Amino acid sequence: MSHPLPPAEYYATLPKHIGGAGTILHDETGRILLVEPSYGDGRWEIPGGAMDAGEYPWDTAHREIKEELGLDLAPGRLLVVDWVPPQPDGRPALANYLFDGGTLTRADAETRVHLAAGELMAWHLAEPAEWDVLMAPHMARRLRACANALINGTTAYLHHGSDPATHRS
C-alpha cells in the first residue's frame, strides 16, 4: 500500500515551467512597437520579459515596460496567452501573457521611450508586413493574434503562436 507524498515532495515531482509577460504598444494605424535586443539571434521582440518568483503576469508586464522602455504605464486588458512547449535548447515550457499597452504615436515614442542600456539597441513601430521579416515565426504569429485581439476586443489562447483549434504542431 503506497502512502501519499507530503505536499513539498509531491510538488517536487511535477513538471516545471516558466512565465513571461509583455506589453503591446501600438499606434493608430496598427503598427506595433518592437524592440531589438542586444543579445540573442538578431530577431526583434515584443517588450517584456521573465516573471520573477511569485510575481503576477500583469506586474511583470508593468515592471518590464518600465525597465526596458522607461515608460511607467499600467498595462490594460489581457490580449493573448501563449503556451510554448519545452525547447531543444533546454528552456522549460513557457506561459507568456501579453497585455494592451495602449496607443503610442511615433512622436510620443521619440520623446518618451528610453531604452534599457546594454539590453536593447533600438525600437521600431513595425507594420504588419514587417513582422514576419523581423521576428521569429512563432512571435510573428503571436503578434498577429495580439493585433486581432485589439481590433476585435477579444483574448486569444495560443499554442506556440497558433490557435490550437486550427493548427496542430
Residue 1 has pLDDT above 70, yes or no: no
Bridge partners for 98 per DSSP: 22, 80
Q: What is the 3-state secondary structure (H, E, C) of 21-33?
A: EEEEEECCCCCEE
Band the pLDDT of 7: cuts 50, 70, 90.
confident
Q: Which domains does the chain have, with CATH numbers?
A: 20-159 (3.90.79.10)
Query: Tell me: the pLDDT tens digits for 141-151?
Result: 999 999 999 99
Band the pLDDT of 168: cuts 50, 70, 90.
low
Q: Residue 115 and residue 17: Cα distance in Å, rounded?
A: 29
Query: Tell me: the pLDDT tens digits for 65-107?
Result: 999 999 999 999 999 999 999 888 888 999 999 999 999 999 9
pTM, to two decimals: 0.91
| Cell of residue 161, nine digits | 503562436
Residue 2 has pLDDT above 80, yes or no: no
CA diameter of the chain:
69
Concatenated DSSP letters of 68-107? HH-------SEEEEEEE---TTSPPEEEEEEEEEEE--HH
For the chain, the residue count is: 169
Instruction: Give the chain's mean pLDDT.
Output: 93
